[in-house]
Amino acid sequence: MAAEFKPCFNQKSSDTFSPDVKERFTLGFMSRGTRIRQIRKQIGLNQTEFGERVGVTPQAVSQWERGLTEPELDRLQAIAGQFAVDFEWLASGKGDAQLVEPRPTIEAQRPIPAEDLIGLRDFPVFAAAMGGEGHLIVSFEQIETVKRPSILEGVRNAYALLISGDSMRPAFNHGDMALVHPGLPTARDKIHIFYDHPPFGEAGEVEAMIKNLVGWTNDKWKLEQYNPAKLFDVDKIDWPTAHRVVGRYDAR
């Protein structure tokens, strides 16, 4: 039975479909590599560009499409998340190719303009260093103070965290400061900093990671990394604290 493949992409994205690349094909006989190639062609990316979006080489993309190798689970998740394609359809060919809700366009976190900086330089900044598995090691010994952004005026325990690494580019680049409101509730499709145990006080060094919160269950956080694109789950028991990021100071 022929069906038209229409991945559900973010309409605000620059990825658009041209009429000449829309075609009909049979879902039931399509290999996983063919499904990947169809996604790539319909959004007009070459193998190099597609690979950059999901964190692999163009050679790896070519091998997937030719059926010489199979993508690992995390790469399938990255493709599904990056291009808003139903994961079950991508992995097995079952289900609907256009089930998932469009993902928001990834944009740089809004920098705080100078006119929104107020008062004295009383806003604490803490440093993060790269740890294992792409995590951050945060020491809550204040390294400096900067002017407080108006969005965090009067917010108790608000702080800035100096970001190390580029795993959340373009939202955050290496050296940017994430502006954090620890009192806000967790929210879907908002960037948070997750800690392996509650920071401050006598915490000393803590392990942390900055990721987009896609959703959660009773015992899991469902997270998204931007660079390379990856969707994954972590146990809440291992990352019990989530502080919401509300803005950014650009790297100096």
Average predicted confidence (pLDDT) for the chain: 78
For residue 95, what pLDDT is reported? 67
Q: What is the pTM of this model?
A: 0.58
Where in the chain do CATH 1.10.260.40 domains reside?
Answer: 2-92
CATH of domain 2-92: 1.10.260.40
Q: Helices 58-65 & 32-42, crossing angle to 10 degrees?
A: 120
Q: Mean pLDDT, to the nearest integer, of 24-37?
A: 67
| Residue 168: DSSP 8-state | T
The model's pLDDT over 106-139, given as tens digits with 9 standing for 90+, comes to: 444 555 554 445 556 789 999 988 876 778 999 8
Q: Single out the residue of 103, 74, 102 nearest to residue 90, CA to CA.
A: 74
- 114-249: what fold? Umud Fragment, subunit A (2.10.109)
For residue 252, what pLDDT is reported? 67
Say if residues 14 and 53 touch (Cβ distance below 8 Å).
Answer: no
Q: Mean pLDDT, to the nearest integer, of 200-214?
A: 83
Q: Mean pLDDT, to the nearest integer, of 57-80?
A: 88
**DSSP H or E run through 148:** strand 136-149
| Residue 108: DSSP 8-state | P
Distance (Å, whole) CA 139 – CA 154 = 24
